[in-house]
Amino acid sequence: MMNEVIGLDREAIRAIFDERFYLRGRVYYKNKQVEQLETQTGDYFRAIVIGSKRYEVLVDLRERGYISAECSCPAFDSYGQCKHIVATMFQIVDYINGRDNQRQYDTMSAIIDSFSEKRGSSSIAVDHYGPFGDKETLQVEYILKTEWTGIADILKLELKVGPKRTYVVKEINQFLQAVDHQYSHYFTDRFSYLPEKYVFSAEDAQVIHLLLQLFEQNRLYNETGPNRYAGVSHSQRALMIPPMFANTVFRALQGRNWYFNDQRHVEFAPYEADRQLPLSFHLDKGNHNDFQFQFSEFLTMDFNPKYGWLIHDSKIYELSAEENELAKQLMRFARFSDHGSLPVASEQVGSFITNVLPSLKQLGELKMSEEISDQIVDPELVTKIWLAGDAQRLDFRVEFHYDSIVVDPFQAETEPKGLPDGAILMRDAEQEQALLRLFVGLEKDEENGNPFMEGEEPIFDFLYTVIPEAQQLGQVYLTDSVKALILPQEQTAHTRIDLDSDGGLLEVSFDMDGIERDEVSKLLRSVVEKRKYHRLSNGAFVPLQDEAYQTIRDVITEFHLTKKQLDQEVINLPLSRGLQVDQLFAGKEQATKFSKRFRRFMQDLKNPEMIDFDVPETLQATLRDYQEVGFAWFKTIAHYRLGGILADDMGLGKTLQAIAYLLSEQADRKHPALIVVPASLVYNWKREFEKFAPTLNVAVAYGLPEERLTILREQQADVLITSYPLLRQDIEIYQEMKFDSFILDEAQAIKNHLTKTAQAVKEVQATKRFALSGTPIENSLDELWSIFDAVLPGFFPSQKQFRAIDREKLGRLVRPFVLRRLKRDVLKELPEKIETTRYSELSKQQKQLYVGYLQRIQQETREAIAADGFDKSRMKILAGLTRLRQLCCHPSLFLEDYKGESGKFEQLLEIVENALENKRRILIFSQFTSMLRLIDQQLEKANIARFYLDGQTPSKQRVEMTERFNEGESSLFLISLKAGGTGLNLTGADTVILYDLWWNPAVEEQAAGRAHRMGQKNSVQVMRLIASGTIEEKIYELQQSKKELIEQVLGSSDTGVSSLSEQEVLEILGIEA
């Protein structure tokens, strides 16, 4: 619409819009039904107005003197204007006049009002003595009517609402929505429903809440299903009530002002089991020899089968489903009756009394003439069933005994035996039918009419499923030949689990009560074949469908037992399969028998921390609580000669836990332990042993082939250490050796089972096998299978079968054999910062260069001190030490033509790869920017994203990179020690690598402090990389051994090599004083 207007005010709005839209729109405005009035410019507005739906209104005042507006409602499409636009215009006037704030305050008041006044389960009913003024309680009348559709009666509900007098609700759906959303609804000029003015009583509010649910249910049904009200005259006044809701509505209306089919004082009687309906039925003697059944009283009542009602004398009786069906049958009788009377022939009266009257008792009282009642005999029923035959055919005979009266149900034409003349037998039709249902579908013998069955499987089913039910209904008699088909006593089966006397194998056996041993293996084959039963040699059936046999089948399937194994009285399995047994039998205690040894084994395996293992006194370290648990786990697994994976997070001390375990095994060992590690960690492990377990004789199988052979053949070591490549090369030698314990460090090295390394590992002979890996699964579960195949051979089936195991089950299976703790899980036990030192060996070419330069610098130092004294020679000495340290990092730092390798550089790349696989975020510090560039180049080749910062990085860029890193971009940050050692907040990192040793440990502390500072939520691992046998090691050892030096350096930020004494420098360079 587009209208010209001089000034926008309420009079202008009235002049523009039709009166009816103006009046209704003003009501919407007063009821605060305009939501979300939005404007960016002050002359173009958008609003949401709540009507029967949510409508969008757009108002454009940008062209001075004109109003352009539109609405998404149907009325706007028809008339070009609507009440929603009017309400929005009033809101805009408030906005222009500066009263919008007050409107917002009013909105908050309404919110507070609604929360403070909310009562019960519905917000419709409120306390009219609330804090925001009195509200008047509305009166509600409920008018219920039934309407005939041509098929059935449909119930409809209409409403009248008002404060003192009531008004017809002409649009019931819209009214219910208005009440639900708390907005107004127009009735007449005299009355509109205004939620801020009126309130419903709590009782009426509950009814309306129910009607709202019904309205929504009807709406959803009509949208998604067929029209359930086909044939009903639709009126906006009425709400259709389907049968499933009707009784609920009637219950809610009790005590309210309601009408039913124009009757006001109507009572609803809900179904009760012991209540009596106001009905009676009569059976009297007729005019001739017949009888008359009278049910005319029923026909005077209003019966609604669709809703299950019987209406009589202003009372609606709710019928049960069974009562409703009986009433339907009576209605069918009525079609053929004479005003509710039907004749019963004399020969029919017995069946009528037996089959019809007991059911009619549920609907009302039965009245019979004295003449008829005197003829009725009503003794108790005793049923007798006889079975004869064999496994190929069963014959049945059934008799119903009423004292001396006998009825043969399969001889329908025969009169009951022993029935006195003129007597009418009241038979127990319900119990008779229950018994006869057991024989439905059976063939009848042509000679005697009795049922019979043929076939082994049907006969088994009948004997073991039907006979027990028949015994509940009567007396069952079996011939000897039939008894032989059933086991004389209830048969029970158990799976027995034990450990062998040596404790190294599982023993599985199957106990079956009453079955000879030579029959058991045949029966087990029937179990495997999933048969319902097994026939013993004596002909008896053994049912195989109970839980015990299902459990046996699960065991056979789970462990892939062969026919040959099933022939054995006791089946031996690897001890590692014990956990599968335990989980397989969870909740099936009745089907299993676990020995005390097996129960103890499972308890130890599940709770190793509960076992008291003494940590060796000679261990030169104090284990943390979680490390003691790891030690106990090692000992438990070893005690049972099993294997496992220690999968602790990086930095939790996997190496220390393994060393503690090996140290504890020293006294009892018969053979050495073998540790296989990545090449870069060989000497690191040796130093860890020297540090934590100096009493162990540790040998490194490294060097030239003849040197390794000598060590392996002649060295009587407690522990042998080698690398994966050398194990692969020397596997023929290792195959000839035996080891007590076998430990694979960084076991992800064998994650591909097809590699020669993985195959070589599996050829090592060892009693107890362990793997250490922070990432036993990197890309696929096949990697876990490969590691398990090395440490616990045979635990899993073939790789193909392993892949079929669902993950939840797999998790349960491996849990006792995989110990994994994350830093965050044991953070309370950890120091805030974990510091470790990693040693590396110089490469062969690197070592030759280092030795040559060391000798030259030693000579130059002696000469300088002799000529000029120590103090004057400090700078020259520092330059020489720097050259040596660069050689330790990488000779190419000052030798441009160097093409060889660097032991420390290779170690770094391996650490970075492992850390990234473990989702670590890393800072790498070096004092040499040339070293950082070399690292950067290598990472570029590997396509690894990283940040780089040195002294040339602009300040702004430093800040930007820091923020990006902390927000999660990239996992690597290369930083010059001096340029980035201070002033950076890099709490996004959790790993700090100090590539080269700085003279001043305080500088190293500051570098680690970039990550280890306030705001850091994770523990931080700090790794120092040291080239073994070089001045780096000497400097580090000197710092650790001289407390005074450490205190001096840590107390000042600028102390360094200049603070060292002449003796200390000579010691670092290995020069004798």
- Tokens 């005793």, located at residue: 382
State how far the Cα of 850 lies from the Cα of 887, in Å rounded to an integer. 6
Is residue 682 packed enough to be buried (19+ CB in 10 Å), middle (13-18) or exposed (0-12)? Answer: buried
222: left (phi over 0), alpha (psi -120 to 50) or beta: alpha
Amino acid at 206: Q
Q: Which stretches of 416-540 are assigned E, i.e. beta strand?
A: 424-425, 443-444, 451-454, 475-478, 493-499, 505-512, 533-535
pLDDT value at residue 670: 87
**Which residues lie closer than 8 Å to 721 by C-beta, 6 or more apart?**
675, 676, 677, 682, 685, 686, 698, 699, 700, 701, 702
C-alpha distances (whole Å) from 1010 to each of 654, 918, 1006 are 26, 21, 7
pLDDT value at residue 676: 95
pLDDT value at residue 1026: 93
pTM score over 0.75: no
**Helix residue ranges, H only, 828-921:** 844-868, 874-889, 903-917
Query: What is the block-wise mean pLDDT of the chain (1073 residues), using blocks of 10 residues?
Result: 62 84 87 81 83 85 76 85 92 76 44 40 40 75 85 86 94 89 86 91 92 82 54 73 88 90 82 86 83 87 89 89 88 82 83 80 85 84 93 92 91 80 82 89 88 91 89 92 83 82 80 80 86 87 84 81 84 79 71 81 78 89 90 90 86 89 90 89 86 93 87 85 93 92 91 89 93 76 85 82 78 82 66 81 92 90 86 84 92 89 93 90 93 94 92 78 89 86 73 85 69 68 91 77 36 44 74 69
pLDDT value at residue 1056: 47
Domain ranges within the chain, ordered by starting residue: 2-98, 122-265, 280-374, 381-481, 493-604, 611-829, 833-1069
Backbone angles phi, psi at 460, to 5 degrees: -60, -50
CATH, domain range 611-829: 3.40.50.10810
pLDDT value at residue 1013: 55
Task: Name residue 162's beta-bridge partners.
Answer: 139
pLDDT value at residue 871: 82
pLDDT value at residue 112: 41
CATH, domain range 833-1069: 3.40.50.300
Backbone angles phi, psi at 293, to 5 degrees: -100, 120
CATH, domain range 2-98: 3.30.310
Residues 577 and 567: beta-carbon distance below 8 Å: no
pLDDT value at residue 143: 93
Comparing 611-829 with 833-1069, is the CATH topology the same?
A: yes
Structure-token pair, residue 951: 């002294």
Task: Name residue 496's beta-bridge partners.
Answer: 509, 593
